[in-house]
């Protein structure tokens, strides 16, 4: 993998086999992560005419739900497999981009190993299925190629515009990519200044780049404005993000420690690549190192530091690590050992998460206990996949359970949490699902829900979901 330079066909085969091996444990599991369950649930509602932010609320960009909507038309578990297949294609594309950019930088000997490292490091960071960075890392890799490779003046400018168009699409998958997008734009403007030394030309080019990058988001805003809901769009996409409370510092530091533990070997290899090359373009190497630093800074600034927040870092860091991995050619066992250990850690993480979060069979048992029939289901806490599994309606547009139950969301979702939970129970949902109390949940909201089910519901089942026991209640009478 390090001494001989593989043909493009062989490199692609290695990438595909590595991606299949690292992602196989998650295939067909609808409860890989609560985020993905929710994205698919919203997309399914959209196939029936629901509008994000109005009929079902969240603060993610609408483009993410449109992406999931391509799979949501399919029934049952087929929809899960379909979005995972799309994510698989994105992983292969991003890994190919890592290898291509590493080769251009002068790290050709380690390019294929770096592509495999990208795939391997996704698993311990929660990127084994359909987290948003898994999808957007592929267009970001393409944008990085366009920015870094430059070219003659006219070609370079058009490549820059193309790169920012890709960044614009990425922003409609997750806004956190704005930091990397700004870096790409600044790099392009620095190129423009060195080439022309004209303030007028620089301002004109900057205006074009900004306009192209913002076009998809402005189009989404324009749609909501055209139907009279501009403020709903702005609240969900801007103001609610600013209103959300931070997590307790103890929890944040624990999350940060996990990120550091997982990413430090990859970042160490990226740092060790400085000064190593077999030719290539110094400009591209400088770009990759700077991009890695910006990606790290973006995660630090964004806060929260959940494991999947580190997924954008893997893309530039793996590219830079090619310089280190390629230099290990005199010790052929080193690279397989590094990647092998990382793969074992990643697969073990996936297996542990599966045991803790549950699987399709456990979800099916809970859905059977809820049953089909008239009346809505209220998943106070638990899997939102149950709405689709049971065919029951949702009694609230705040479908994601923690929006109404988590303390950090108090005053940040456009409705009073206690008041909305009271309103939901006043609609007399036919069934209620509750998991045990979780860290960060508001005690008063949990107490209200328990009091309501004690007053008007009977317990029909307690069933396992991973390492928890989920209670299913049906309305008396």
Is 80 exceeded by the pLDDT of residue 278? no
pLDDT of residue 422: 98
8 Å CB contact between 114 and 318: yes
Check residue 14 and give its pLDDT: 97
Cα–Cα distance for residue pair 27/36, rounded to 1 Å: 13
Look at residue 6 in the predicted model and tell me its pLDDT. 83
Sign of the dihedral through C-alpha 120, 122, 124, 129? negative
Residue 247: predicted pLDDT: 85
Residues sharing a CB contact under 8 Å with residue 315, sequence separation 6 or more, in sequence order: 94, 97, 98, 118, 137, 140, 141, 144, 295
What number is the average pLDDT over the span 334-344? 94
- Give me the chain's average pLDDT, please: 95
**What is the reported pLDDT for 249?**
87
Tell whether the model's pLDDT for residue 275 goes beyond 90.
no
What is the number of other CB atoms lying within 10 angstroms of the CB of residue 253? 12
Lowest mean pLDDT among 93-102, 114-123, 158-167, 276-285: 276-285
Q: Are 43 and 399 in contact (CB under 8 A)?
A: no
Q: What is the pLDDT of residue 98?
A: 98
pLDDT for position 2: 43
Residue with tokens 């196939």: 47
**pLDDT tens-digit readout, 230-253:** 999 999 999 999 999 988 888 889
């Amino acid at each position: 993998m390090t001494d001989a330079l593989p043909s493009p066909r062989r490199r692609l085969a290695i990438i595909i086999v590595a991606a299949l091996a690292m992602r196989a444990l998650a295939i067909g599991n609808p409860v890989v992560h609560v985020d993905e369950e929710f994205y698919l649930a919203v997309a399914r509602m959209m196939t029936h005419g629901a509008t994000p932010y109005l009929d079902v609320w969240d603060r993610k960009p609408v483009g993410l739900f449109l992406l999931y909507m391509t799979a949501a038309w399919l029934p049952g578990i087929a929809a899960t497999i379909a979005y995972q297949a799309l994510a698989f294609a994105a992983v292969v594309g991003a890994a190919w981009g890592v290898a291509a950019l590493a080769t251009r930088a002068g790290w050709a000997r380690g390019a294929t190993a770096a592509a495999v490292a990208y795939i391997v490091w996704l698993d311990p960071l929660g990127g084994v299925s359909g987290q948003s960075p898994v999808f957007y890392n592929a267009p970001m890799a393409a944008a990085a190629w366009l920015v870094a490779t430059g070219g003659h003046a006219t070609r370079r400018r058009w490549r820059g515009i193309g790169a920012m168009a890709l960044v614009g699409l990425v922003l409609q998958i997750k806004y956190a990519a704005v930091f990397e997008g700004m870096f790409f734009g600044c790099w392009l403007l620095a190129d423009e200044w060195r080439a022309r030394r004209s303030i007028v030309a620089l301002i004109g080019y900057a205006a074009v780049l900004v306009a192209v990058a913002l076009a998809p988001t402005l189009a989404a805003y324009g749609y909501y404005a055209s139907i009279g809901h501009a403020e709903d769009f702005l609240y969900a996409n801007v103001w609610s993000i600013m209103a959300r409370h931070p997590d307790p510092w103890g929890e944040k530091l624990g999350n940060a420690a996990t990120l550091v533990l997982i990413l430090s070997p990859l970042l160490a290899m990226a740092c060790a690549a400085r000064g190593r090359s077999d030719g290539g373009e110094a400009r591209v190497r400088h770009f990759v190192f700077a991009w890695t630093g910006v990606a790290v800074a973006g995660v630090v600034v964004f806060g929260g530091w959940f494991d999947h927040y580190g997924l954008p870092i893997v893309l530039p860091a793996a590219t830079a690590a090619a310089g280190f991995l390629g230099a290990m050619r005199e010790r052929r066992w080193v690279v397989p050992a590094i990647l092998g250990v990382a793969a074992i850690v990643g697969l073990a993480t996936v297996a542990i998460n599966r045991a803790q979060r549950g699987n399709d069979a456990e979800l099916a048992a809970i859905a059977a206990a809820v049953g089909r029939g008239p009346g809505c289901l209220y998943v106070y806490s638990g899997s939102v996949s149950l709405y689709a599994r049971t065919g029951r309606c949702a009694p609230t547009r705040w479908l994601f359970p923690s929006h109404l139950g988590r303390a950090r969301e108090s005053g940040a979702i456009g409705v009073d949490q206690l008041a909305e939970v009271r309103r939901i129970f006043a609609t007399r949902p036919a069934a209620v699902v509750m998991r045990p109390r979780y860290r960060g949940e508001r005690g008063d909201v949990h107490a209200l829900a328990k009091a309501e089910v004690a007053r008007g519901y009977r317990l029909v089942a307690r069933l396992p979901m991973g390492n928890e026991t989920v209670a299913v209640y049906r309305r008396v009478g």
